Amino acid sequence: MTPPAVPVGDLLRTHAPQVLGALVRRYGHFDQAEDAVQEALLAAARQWPEAGVPDNPRGWLIRVASRRLVDLLRAEESRRRREETAARLDPGDAFTAPPPGEGRAPAEADTLTLLFLCCHPDLAPAAQVALTLRAVGGLTTAEIARAHLVPEATMAQRISRAKRRIAGTPFRPPGPGDRDERLAAVLQVLYLIFNEGYTATSGARLHRADLAREAIRLTRAVRALLPREGAVTGLLALMLLTEARSPARTGPHGELIPLDEQDRGRWLRGMIDEGTALVEEALSEGPAGPYQLQAAVAALHDEAPSAGETDWPQILALYDVLVARFPEPMARLGRAVALAMVDGPRAGLAEVDRLAPELRGHHRLDAVRAHLLERAGDRAAAAEAYRSAAAGTLSTPEARYLRMRAARLST
């Protein structure tokens, strides 16, 4: 036993997905395995601060969790076949971790396999996000429920249904045929988690730093396992470059401050430098995908000394490539803003009108239209669009900001 070199909580969060992956790979029974891992983590949280961290903390957790899992299986399974299975699973005291020379995946690969399992295509996106935060992120059900503004019982049911849905799924990485598709699902889930943290879709807070940080941490873990994947590198760069602005996004009373009015001296330069270096690396790792291109746009915003010095022609060129390859409505909406900054607000408004059938009723479409109408000098129409956008968002800070803009134009 040695004194902890890092906080015990951080150490446990690092090892938790590896331990869960090891148990699921060896025993199956995802639901019971997670319960056993949680009990092992609680035991470690009680013992390690006083007794010291074991020399092999992951092995200690696997051994304790394995014993608890066997107890759970024996207690729950009454039929003879399952009793015999549980009896065969009894781990010896010497078991510390799957030896690397026995054809088993290393602990780090277990984390990635667990992510693939949590993002299984049979699960709805909301269930993928919740299960990923629970099993890989190590958040409690109560923490996940608070982040999504739902009752804890509701979130517990969602997670339980997700576990049942994937029960029996072999614990192994996806095959070559669907590996890229499954990785794309993992990255989409991580991006959803980040976006909910950076700009909460509902509630009184604009920024949920815990979710944003967790998304960045998990994406770092994936990149450590797949360092040459341009999409992974690009997503991490995009998160860092975006999160770097968070200290300047809100005022002293939690009010929203738009990008062009932010105090750029409050942006996190270390995070920007890291993100910019990652963008260059990501763009060198094969054809640029949506995360790499969006990260390049974010880098141009973050590198501009002021809003007036932003390289909008280059941003528009990047959006042209993004929309040509991935014509998603939100990407096209971003291009409309860039076009307005290069060719004038009326050009941007024409693009917004073309998007109306796809994004009708979405508050971001109304907010962009209001901004461009204000730049074009149509104050009355801009105020009406701001009010429409405010009515369409569930975020209290966003609604307050949009109503304030409408009121200023109506005065």
pLDDT over threshold 70, residue 100: no
Q: Do the Cβ atoms of 335 and 350 come closer than 8 Å?
A: no
pLDDT in tens, 229-278: 999 999 999 999 999 999 999 998 888 999 999 999 999 999 999 999 99
* 41-64 average pLDDT score: 86
Question: Does 176 or 387 have the greater pLDDT score?
Answer: 387
* 362-378 average pLDDT score: 96
Question: Does 190 or 96 have the greater pLDDT score?
Answer: 190
pLDDT for 181:
85
pLDDT for 317:
97
Q: Which helix (H) or strand (E) holds 202?
A: strand 202-203
pLDDT above 70 coverage of the chain, percent? 90
pLDDT in tens, 180-233: 888 999 999 999 889 988 888 877 888 888 889 989 988 998 998 889 999 999
pLDDT over threshold 60, residue 87: no
Q: Do the Cβ atoms of 110 and 25 come closer than 8 Å?
A: yes
Residue 96: is it exposed, middle or buried by C-beta count within 10 angstroms (0-12/13-18/19+)? middle
Per-residue pLDDT band for 1 (boundaries 50, 70, 90) equals low
Copy the structure tokens of residue 409. Answer: 């134009």
Q: Taking each helix axis as running N to C, give the angle between helix 290-303 and helix 312-325, from 0 to 180 degrees, rounded to the nearest 10.
A: 170
Distances in whole angstroms, Cα of residue 216 to Cα of each of 107, 212, 219, 237, 278: 20, 6, 5, 9, 13
Determine how many CB atoms are found less than 10 A away from the CB of residue 178: 12
pLDDT over threshold 70, residue 93: no
- Helix (H/G/I), strand (E/B), else coil: 310: coil
Q: Taking each helix axis as running N to C, give the angle between helix 30-51 and helix 152-166, from 0 to 180 degrees, rounded to the nearest 10.
A: 120
Q: Do the Cβ atoms of 300 and 315 come closer than 8 Å?
A: yes
* 279-298 average pLDDT score: 93
pLDDT for 98:
41
pLDDT over threshold 50, residue 50: yes
The strand ranges marked E within 320-407 are 394-395
pLDDT for 347:
97
pLDDT in tens, 113-154: 888 888 888 888 888 988 988 888 877 888 788 767 678 898
**Which alpha helices (H) appear in 90-139, and where do they start and end?**
107-118, 125-135
* 149-161 average pLDDT score: 87
Per-residue pLDDT band for 105 (boundaries 50, 70, 90) equals very low
**Which alpha helices (H) appear in 52-148, and where do they start and end?**
57-76, 80-88, 107-118, 125-135, 141-147
Determine how many CB atoms are found less than 10 A away from the CB of residue 289: 20
pLDDT over threshold 60, residue 99: no
Q: What are phi and psi of 135, to 5 degrees?
A: -85, -35
Distances in whole angstroms, Cα of residue 381 to Cα of each of 334, 341, 366, 387, 411: 21, 19, 11, 10, 13
User: Residues 274, 277, 282, 283: is their CA dihedral positive or negative?
Assistant: positive
pLDDT above 90 coverage of the chain, percent? 44
pLDDT in tens, 342-351: 999 999 999 9
Least confident window among 30-44, 313-327, 380-394: 30-44
* 73-94 average pLDDT score: 53
Average model confidence (pLDDT) for the chain? 86
Q: How far apart (Å, rounded) are the C-alpha atoms in residues 123 and 217?
A: 23
pLDDT for 95:
37
pLDDT for 108:
62
Question: Does 286 or 406 have the greater pLDDT score?
Answer: 406
* Nearest CA among 340, 271, 336, 331 for reference residue 303: 271
Q: How far apart (Å, rounded) are the C-alpha atoms in residues 119 and 139?
A: 16
pLDDT for 72:
79
